[in-house]
Amino acid sequence: MLRAGAALRPRLASARCLSSREECHERLATKQKGHVKPLKTKQKGVDILHDPLWNKGMAMDYPERDRLNLRGLVPPRVKTLEEQAARVMAQLRGDFADDDDGRLRKNKFLQELHNRNETLYHRVLADNIAELAPLVYTPTVGAVCENFGAQFRRARGMYFSVQDRGLFSSMVWNWPHDDVHIIVVTDGSRILGLGDLGAHGMGIPIGKLALYCAAGGIAPHRVMPVMLDVGTNNAALLEDDDYLGVQKPRLEGDEYFAMVDEFMSAVFERWPDTVVQFEDFESSKAQPILDKYRHTRRCFNDDIQGTGCVTLAGVLAAGRQAGLRLSEMSFLCAGAGSAGLGVCLQLVDGMVADGLSREEAMKRFVICTSVGAIGRADGAHGDPNAARGLSAEREIWVNDAVSDGASLEDAVREFRPTCLLGLAAQP
């Protein structure tokens, strides 16, 4: 894996932002192996300055300014990326309050930087990832999505909507880059713990990919955030003048899955070697989509597989410390969304690998929804899950060891699990 700083190199006109031609030549002469060939552009002058992918602000040295027709279009002083990054961090740390509103304003400040100078944005993020990750992604990104329409300034990524059906295979060619390594796509149906935010869930793919570039070393021109806009069932958004998506109820059933299929066919037709990451799809859609494509396309679901494998690793490590095999453990999961059920399925797979049958493994789990445990319908707690009907994804988790609707406390007392998993959207 490339280190974080490598994400910046392909887009620099020289090997690094340096103040003299001699330094450039010296660095190039001493770096014989592992040199990343710089990108080439036909853009010149103000077009460079107006394109955030190419603009480096005052970090352009004089040889670059001459090659790109920038002499006289920026102030004469050359300021390195490090110097510019220090100024950005000084503003972030000094100009904003350390509260929810202040963090949202910090995110907006970083968005504006992202929209004018991606090189500097990713340098700042890479050098201060622990401090800035909570501003770029969770928890701040939830408020960003809620305010997405009101704060919208510049389009980023691609939007495939119900109004574009039948045109996806041509739309993908509107994207300016041929070498897309990873696509993060959401349909906005289950954004964090906020539910259906429709097209305003686009903040999630944008934030996630910013972290991939800064911390994972992926070049910014090789990522693409995507919103699959199938409509929204959020009544407030359907009436909101600031809502940017399709103001119609969500597609369901065969129409929904046909639109997903058209999207997958289109992106892999143009970028056959890309990876598609499904992000924040509601549980009734997430697992069927993953099951359909996981063996034929390069794709994964972050909520189901990403969170699941990290949790499995943690449980295995804890089990070694406690002297317990995975097959000897039992689990109570507070949360029945795609992340909660996905984690439990990963743990079931681990138990099967450790010698249990799948049926035996699943009986070692109790799942608690927002109205209580999924268990036997004995009337003790009003059977709320059974009364409202269980989806296929939840029905397989019915456990007769607890009463349906039992509180988390009662379920722990009845089931006595080895491990408690907290994966609920709400505390």
Look up residue 96 and give its amino acid. Answer: F
Instruction: Output the six-digit token pair for 308.
Output: 């699941």
| Rounded Cα distance, 262 and 259, in Å | 5
Q: Output the CA–CA distances (angstroms, integers) from residue 322 to 346, 388, 420, in the order listed.
A: 20, 39, 15
Instruction: Output the six-digit token pair for 420.
Output: 């408690």
Is 303 known as a binding-site position? Answer: yes
| Rounded Cα distance, 241 and 46, in Å | 34
Backbone phi, psi, residue 371, to 5°? -110, 10
Among the listed residues 242, 209, 246, 248, the one whose alpha carbon sits nearest the alpha carbon of residue 226: 209
Is 280 known as a binding-site position? Answer: yes
Instruction: Output the six-digit token pair for 26.
Output: 């010296």
Is 179 known as a binding-site position? Answer: no
Is 254 known as a binding-site position? Answer: no
Look up residue 55 and give its amino acid. Answer: N
HEC secondary structure over the chain: CCCHHHHCHHHCCCCCCCCCHHHHHHHHHHCCCCCCCCCCCCCCCHHHHCCCCCCCHHHCCHHHHHHCCCCCCCCCCCCCHHHHHHHHHHHHHHCCCCCHHHHHHHHHHHHHHHHHCHHHHHHHHHHCHHHHHHHHCCCHHHHHHHCCCCCCCCCCCEEEEHHHCCCHHHHHHHCCCCCCCEEEEECCCCCCCCCCCHHHHHHHHHHHHHHHHHHHCCCHHHEEEEEEECCCCCHHHHCCCCCCCCCCCCCCHHHHHHHHHHHHHHHHHHCCCCEEEECCCCHHHHHHHHHHHCCCCCEEEHHHHHHHHHHHHHHHHHHHHHCCCHHHCCEEEECCCHHHHHHHHHHHHHHHHCCCCHHHHHCCEEEEECCEECEECCCCCCCHHHHHCCCHHHHCCCEEEEECCCCHHHHHHHHCCCEEEECCCCC
Active site residues: 137, 208
| Bind-site residues | 190, 279-280, 303
| Bind-site residues for (S)-malate | 190
| Bind-site residues for a divalent metal cation | 279-280, 303
